[in-house]
Structure 1
Amino acid sequence: MTDPFKEAEATRKVLTAPEDASGRIDAWLATTLSGDYSRSRIKALIEEGATLVNGAVMTEPKQKVQPGDVIEVAMPVPRDPEPRGEDIPLEVLHEDEDLIVLVKPAGMVVHPAAGNWTGTLVNALIHHCGASLSGIGGVRRPGIVHRLDKETSGVMVVAKNDAAHRHLSDQFADHGRNGPLERAYQAVVWGRPRQLKGTVNAPLGRAGDRTRRAVKREDAEDAREAITHYAVTERYGETPDGASLASLVECHLETGRTHQIRVHMAHIGHPLIGDPDYGQAFRTKANRLPDEARLVVERFRRQALHAFLLQFEHPSTGETLRFEAPPPPDLERLIEALRLVRTAGSP
Structure 2
Amino acid sequence: MGGAAWSHQLNPDAETRPIIPVILKAFEKGIRTIDTSPYYEPSEKILGKALADSAISTTYSRADYFLMTKVGRIASEEFNYSPAWIRESVERSLQRFQTGYLDVVFCHDVEFVSDDAVVAAVATLWEFVAAGKVRYVGISGYPIDKLVRVARLCKEKLGKPVDIVQNWGQLTLQNTKLRTQGLEALARAGVAMVCSSSPLNIGLLRAQGVPIGNLGDWHPAPPGLRLAAANAATYVSSHGDDLASLALRFAVRETATKTPGLPSMALIMGPGSVAEVESCAAAANSVRDLRVQARYGDLRDGVVVDEEGVERDRELVEGVRGILGEWIDYSFVSPPEGWDVEAGKMGSV
TM-score (norm 2): 0.29
Question: Which structure: larger Rg?
Answer: 1
Higher strand share: 1
TM-score (norm 1): 0.29
Higher helix share: 2
